Amino acid sequence: MMKQRRKPTFFQVLCIGISLIVVLVLVAVFLGLILFSSPEALLGSLLSEEIWYAIKLSVITAVISTLFCLVIAIPVAYSMVRFEFFGKQWVNVLLNLPLSLPPLVAGVALLIFLSPVTSPIGQFLSHMGVYVVYTPAAIIIAQIFVNAPYMVRIARSTFSMISPRYEHVARTLGCSEFGAFRKITLPMAKNGLIGGIVITWSKAMGEFGAVLMLAGAIAMKTETLPIALFLNMSTGDLDMAISAALILLIISGAALILFEYFGKDNGDVYA
């Protein structure tokens, strides 16, 4: 193709200029975070017991909550895409509500729902010897509650890109309804779902508001990475706080790259 060098218009200069400023600001902000502590101090805090505990707790709770999210999201997303039922649009609003809701609000709602002091359900659970609030289990519940709608959304857009006719053909070839889903739709949705898992997991790693409300910020008990960041900031222990922040930054970056990778391959629309 022939390329002609033309004088850029004012509009082009303006758009590109603003983009450039945004990029520079982002780089500066993140570099500031990375370069703030001396490498030795950073290494020291990264190896500290508290940070290790936070990493382990975050990873474990995020993995478990992501699995739950996946198990919830697949049937919900599939229903929303493939089936027609009464009140579907209201279900849709309800499912999306947690997306725009501040996680703090979700956390308070959960706390009131599960606390033995405020709710019959909490009382019933405590009678059974199950204490949820202010435990690591609460972290998982909070993460699921906040993240499941995201996973549903991603799974939904993935399923909606797969024409139901694939299943129709599979049915005429001998598959049961579930068989067609398992052998055709699910494998076709694989990449989209993996992308969703990555994003959901990374969001769970960083979930703060809802976790703070339901699980509290108890050092070495419900201390996930974001909670560690919060606790150490409030005590003025900047090196510790920043090492927690850096780990979260790296996780976000890696998750985004992975999501892009799986998303790219998912560029095929099977409509």
Partner 1 sequence: MLEIESLSIQLGEFSFTDLNLKVTDGEYCIILGPTGAGKTILLETIAGIHHPKNGRILLNDKDITNIPPERRGIGMVYQDYMLFPHMTVAENIGFGLKERGVSVSERDAAVQNIAKTMGISHLLERHPKTLSGGEQQRTAIARSLLLRPSVLLLDEPLSALDTITRDRLRDELKAIHKETGMTILHITHHFEDIYALADRVVVMRNGTIVQEGTPDMIMRHPVSDFIANFTGMENLFTGNAIRTPSGIVEIRIGTILLHAVTELTGQVHAGIRPEDMIISTEPFTSSAQNSFSGVVTEIIDTGVYSKIVVDTGITMTAVLTRQSIQRLGITRGTSVWLTFKATAVHVFRE
- Pairwise CA distance, residues 167 & 186, whole Å: 11
Window 146 to 165, contacts with partner 1 (CB under 8 A):
163, 165
Q: Which of 13, 24, 105, 169 binds partner 1 (CB under 8 A)?
A: 169
Q: Is 166 in the site for partner 1 (CB under 8 A)?
A: yes
Specify whether the CB–CB gap between 80 and 223 falls below 8 A. no
Q: Is 265 in the site for partner 1 (CB under 8 A)?
A: no
Which x/- pattern, by CB under 8 A, does the window 1-40 give for partner 1? ----------------------------------------
Q: Which of 42, 54, 133, 184 binds partner 1 (CB under 8 A)?
A: 184
Window 65 to 124, contacts with partner 1 (CB under 8 A):
84
Q: Which of 60, 109, 175, 249 binds partner 1 (CB under 8 A)?
A: 175
Q: How many residues bind partner 1 (CB under 8 A)?
A: 21
Q: Is 168 in the site for partner 1 (CB under 8 A)?
A: yes
Window 229 to 258, contacts with partner 1 (CB under 8 A):
none
- Pairwise CA distance, residues 35 & 41, whole Å: 11
> Which residue from 142, 153, 144 is spatially nearest to 109, judged by alpha carbons?
142
Q: Choose between 175 and 219: whose C-beta lies nearer to partner 1.
A: 175
> Which residues are at the interface with partner 1 (CB under 8 A)?
84, 163, 165-166, 168-177, 179, 184, 187-188, 190, 268, 270
